[in-house]
Each structure stands twice: as structure tokens, then as C-alpha cells.
Structure 1
Amino acid sequence: MPVPAPNLYPDFNTIRLSHVCLNVKDLAASRTFYTEIIGLQITDESESHVYLRAMEERGHHCIILQKSDQPGTVEVMGFKTFDEADLDRAEAYFKGKGRPTSWVERPFQGRTLLTSDNMGIPLEFYHKMDRLAPIHQKYALYRGVKPLRIDHFNCFSHDVDASVDFYSDFGFRVTEYTEDDDSKKLWAAWMHRKGGVHDMAFTNGTGPRMHHVAFWVPTPLNIIDLLDLMATTGYVDNIERGPGRHGISNAFFLYVLDPDGHRIEIYCSDYQTVDPDLEPIKWDLQDPQRQTLWGAAAPESWFKHGTPFVGVDQKVSEIKASPIIAP
């Protein structure tokens, strides 16, 4: 199926991804991982929640850790709109698509619309979030991998074509994609709003589930430092894949798992995609440089492990094609 043409004038204007709420078992253990190992900054905390931001972010939070009796699940993914009026337009849009909508109260956020995509992924949209003082030049605060900002989400979808159609309709643009030669269906696709390679990506598999959330870091050397830190502080088994350089996106990467199994990508050096007429790049599913430019295949866990969304049923993909998997 052809990649849909970009909708350059969508019904409402989404600026970028914003935040995700992760359900965790042991709030103290997760707090330690995200602050001392990853290096995020605490902006507020209670007995049930920890709010965190990265070093360049002025918004109150990009990660919410929520103590839950359903650990290893995702509560909601958040996006920021251009203005307040976009929230009302978004409500009308999602209602028109037959999706549930409600206005919810969220700490540190203004008016927030809760809805879901065509696969059931819970999404929330807001315009205003509490603004905090800049800390990007407070170098004494930098630790861990020195995360600068949240970069993207990647989700498993049992029907990537349907997911891409849905997000394309409200303004997400495809930058790169993989097509299954046998079925001519999309196996994976990368879509953006903010001018990088992706804000949201979809990978073929049992879904919907979150594959990973990614953080942008200054340089590949920060990733090497993180590996040394994890290997010597009891987290060596949490290192899943990498370091390496993706063929898709050209980004330098590392994948790690948090204490509840949420996959975190550490990511830098992708490319600019702001031109609205930029043509998407197509990759062969069997190209060994698709996953990793240097040819190293991903482990089986990378294609099978994901974290469910609370209360959302999953479906198995009908596509049988498989990329190269490491033995």
C-alpha cells in the first residue's frame, strides 16, 4: 500500500510529542533508575507519582512514574497543540472519527483532552503546561546519560497501514518506511510533527503496545558513558541492544530496559525533516543496514517485547514476514 500523501492542513495543529505516564511497581527503584542512571530531573513527587523532565525542557514533565498494581504498562501518551483552540478542534476531530473523548484534570497541565487512536492507544492533548526555569546551563545537575529532551515514541501495531493512515490524516508526515514485499503492506513507518525523523513510529507486531520511548542526548560518547555506568552499578542485565547506528534515521542508539521492563532508547544525531515536500525513504525489510548501518541484527526480544496500554485489547499481526534477527 502506498504511503499516504501528507496532510499539510490538518483539522488541528499538533506541535510535538510531550510526555508519557509509565506504571511502575516500586516507585523508589524507578525513581533511582530515571534520576541516577538516565539523569532526568525531578520536578514534583508524592507517594504515588514522580514527575521528571530532561535538561533542555521548560515544560514541567516529560515522564510521569505512577505507582500501580499494573506495573509494566502505559497509562497514556501526551502531545502538545499549537494553541487552546486546537484542543476544541481536536475534540471535534476525534469525535468525528468515532473515538471516545473527555476532558480530564491533569496536575501541572491546563485543559487536557483524553482520547484514543484507531488502535486504542490512549492519547491526551494539551496546550498549556506549567513552565519551569531553564536548567540547560546548570551543568552541575547533569548526570547519567545527560538527557536533553524527550524525542519520540515507537509502538507495535498489528496493522501499520491503518496506523499510518490515521496519524497522517491529522498531520503526521512519514519520513522513512519499510514495506513487506509479499503483501505490499507497511511493516514499519516513522512519522513526525516537530521536524526530526519521528515523533511517533509504528512497528509491525502484536499491538497496540509501546515499543519504546526515546531521549535525545548530546553525543554518542554520552551513550558510552551510560554503558559504563550501568555495567558497574547493577544494571548490566538492563542493557538490551546497542550501541549502534540505525540505517533508518541515521541515529546513534542504545536500548535499555527500566526496572519494570519499559524500553528506553537513548538517541542522537538524526536529521532535519522540516520541508513539507520531503520524500519518504523506503527500506527493504531484508536489508541488513536497515536496522543497523553497520549490519548488526537486533535481538529477538527487540521484535517481541513491548509494554501494554492499560485496558486496551491487543491483536496479532497477519504479516508473517520478518526482518533479520540476531541468532
Structure 2
Amino acid sequence: MTNPEPIYDVAQLGHTELLTPNLDESVAFFTDVYGLYLVGEEPGAAHLRAWNDDVLTSLKLTASDQAGLGHVAWRATSPQALERRVAALEKRGVEGHWHDGDFGHGAAFRYRGPGGHQQEIYFETEKYRPTEETRPHLPNQPQKFDPQGAAAAHIDHINLLVPNVSEASQFQQETLGFKLRERLVPAERDEVGAWLSVMTKAHDLALTREPAPTEGRLHHLAYSVPETSDVIRAADIFMENDVFIEFGPAKHSRTQGFFLYVYEPGGNRIEVFTGGIHIFSPDFETVTWTTEAGGRGTAWGTAVPESFHTHATPTFPATQ
């Protein structure tokens, strides 16, 4: 059987919109504690970026009655790649629509994924241009390193809950060219987790099984930091600011990233992440896990809290 030609039309997780019932408090958390920078505001919304994001914005916070995902956006590698991926979506029967763009980016094709989440794909984006105060000494950096809070460096990945992991994973692979790096399929059960990337990272997208009879929910959004010590430093910063630490610091089995999870004031789960395997081989073989390694939920045996399997946004009554 001939393997399909790899698709490299999607470059990265471009930006994400989170909904929050506590917009002012969420903005304060992401700037003062998590370490992002506020780059734009409008009635009911705020736009932020991390110090090592080369784009103007990677996160939009939107006021809403409940927390959750507004949309997740994938950036294409070129205008031509964008056209090809939209054609692939339409060929699959996906109903979507074009919009003129938003703060920091141009025209985007918005559609609903198989798990009920709003997704979009776009290419045109506004780059971040440093001011005299933020200009870096080294010209290959977006801005000088002037840490605030946990100093999240750049947007890394997102985890979405879906009713059918295999179906959602196939959708991302076949329409957008995601590569399935790891998957969790317990013995005699359906697939419960999939970790996919568009280029060489361990994952840009994680898909995990939705435990409630609903769809469209967010498990977590992650920004990365350069070093393991930065994750440990973030734990101290969260502690000093009375931010509840749900899980970590510890090391994942899958992806092998070092992590820390907290809730932002709106209720969305946010991760500080570093490391993770990188895939350099073009014929990398998907790793299938049938159980946790050695019965462990994490690489070093750190216990996984029950809330990690039940809490998601928006909340669902049956999971509380």
C-alpha cells in the first residue's frame, strides 16, 4: 500500500480565542501573572501576545456568559496553501464561510470541526514591530526579554475534547495535513487520545475523549517557556499570586513535555509547557499506547487529579 503524500499546507497554531465571564480579571491574569502583553482592546474583547510571538497577537479574550473556546485558528504556509486546504474542506462537505479577518490577521475561512469546535484557517497576519523600548539587542528576536509574571514565551498547543477521537483525528489529518504522532487506545476500548502536529513538534493539537454528553469544549490552552526551570519558577509565581495549581510541575509520558496546569479567572484551564519530543524523520511511525507506561499517568508517576479528567469549559452539570 502506498502511503499518501504528506501535506505541509498548515504551518502552525496561529491564534486562539478564549471566552471568559470575567474579562477584566482574565486580562489581569494573562498579563500580570502569566506574562503576556496587552496589544489591543475593544468593547468586550482584548488581544494579547507572548514576548517571543513574532505576530501581533496570539490570544483573544472575549467577554461571554461562560468560559470556553471561541475559536482556534490554524495559519497556512502560503496563500496558495490556504486555497488548497479550503478546497479540501469543501470537498469533504464541510460548510464554512469566509470573513474579513480580525485584529492582527486577514481573511479567514471559519468552519465547525467534527467535535463541535469553531476552527478557522488563514494566512495573512500582522507581524509584531518592536518599539524603541522593546527593541531586542539581537535582531532575530521579536522583542527584548523583559520578563513579567511567568513570562510565557509563545503559543504552543491546544487540547480539545471530542466525542469521537478517531473521527476528529482523521478529519485533521485528511483535510489539513496533521500528522498523528501518538495515540492512546486502551485494550478493547476505543481511542481516547490523539496527539497531532503540523510540522516537527510533538503536538500542536491534542484530542481527548469528551466525558460528558456534549461537544465543543476546551480542555486546555498551552504556551511554552524555554526551560524546565521556567515551569518551576511559574509555580512559585502562581503560588505568590494565590492561583490554584491543579496539576504539576511534572513530566508527561506522551510528548515528554514538562508541564504545569492552572485555571485562569474565567475558568479555562491553562498550561505552562516546555520541551517535548521533536520529530525529524519524515517516516516517523505513530506511537500507540495501550495503557499508561508502567501503570503511571505521568512519566515519573505523579498522580493525575480527578479534575483533570472531568473539568472542561464550558462546564457541564453532569461533570461537576
Corresponding residue to 1:280 among 257, 275, 286? 286
> Tell me, what secondary structure is at the counterpart of 2:226?
coil
SS at match of 2:160: strand
Identity of aligned pairs, percent? 26
Does residue 95 of structure 2 align to residue 100 of structure 1? yes
- 1:42 aligned counterpart, secondary structure: strand
Counterpart of 1:301, as a letter, is S
State the Cα distance separating 1:176 from its structure 2 match: 1.3
Give, in angstroms, the shift of residue 208 of structure 1.
3.6
Letter in 2 for 1:223: V
Distance 1:7 1:188, change over 3 A: farther
Residue in 2 that maps onto 1:53? 49
Secondary structure at the residue paired with 1:22? strand
Asked if the contact 2:264–2:270 (Cα under 8 Å) also holds between the matched residues in 1, the reply is: yes
Q: SS where residue 201 of structure 2 aligns?
A: coil
- TM-superposed deviation, 1:7: 4.6
Question: Could you say if the C-alpha distance between residues 149 and 131 of structure 1 is closer, same or farther in structure 2, counting changes exceeding 3 Å?
Answer: same
- Is the 2:66–2:314 Cα contact (8 Å) retained in structure 1? no
Determine the structure 1 residue equivalent to 2:274. Answer: 268
Cα deviation for residue 90 of structure 1 reads 2.4
Counterpart of 1:292 in structure 2 is: 298
In structure 2, the residue matched to 1:199 is 204
Runs of 4+, deviation exceeding 4 Å? 134-140
Q: Residue 130 of structure 1 aligns to a residue in which SS?
A: coil
Paired residue type of 2:236: D
Does the 8 Å contact 2:54/2:142 carry over to 1? no
Say which SS state the counterpart of residue 208 (structure 2) adopts: strand
Give the TM-score, by structure 2 length.
0.88
Equivalent residue runs for 1:32-181 within 5 Å: 32-68=28-64, 70-105=65-100, 106-133=102-129, 136=141, 138-139=143-144, 141-170=146-175, 171-181=177-187
Amino acid at match of 2:71: V
Aligned to 2:13: 17
Q: Work out whether residues 117 and 123 of structure 1, in 8 Å CA contact, stay in contact via their aligned partners in 2.
A: yes
Q: Structure 1 residues 108, 166: CA separation in 2 closer, same or farther (over 3 Å shift)? A: same
Which one-letter code corresponds to 2:301 in the other structure? G
RMSD: 2.2
Alpha-carbon distance between aligned partners in 1 of 2:166 and 2:150, rounded to the nearest angstrom:
35
Unaligned runs of 5+ in 1: 317-327
| Distance of aligned partners of 1:86 and 1:286 in 2 relative to their CA distance in 1, 3 Å threshold | closer
1:130/1:224 CA distance change after superposition, 3 Å: same
TM-score, normalised by the number of residues in structure 1:
0.86
SS in 1 for 2:250: strand
Task: State whether residues 26 and 264 of structure 2, in contact with CA within 8 Å, keep that contact through their aligned partners in structure 1.
Answer: yes
Q: How far, CA to CA, are the matches of 1:122 and 1:290 in structure 2?
A: 33
8 Å CA contact retained: 1:7, 1:169:
no
Corresponding residue of 2:263 = 257
Maintained 8 Å contact 2:47/2:60: yes
CA distance in 2, matches of 1:224, 1:75: 30
Paired residue secondary structure (1:165): helix
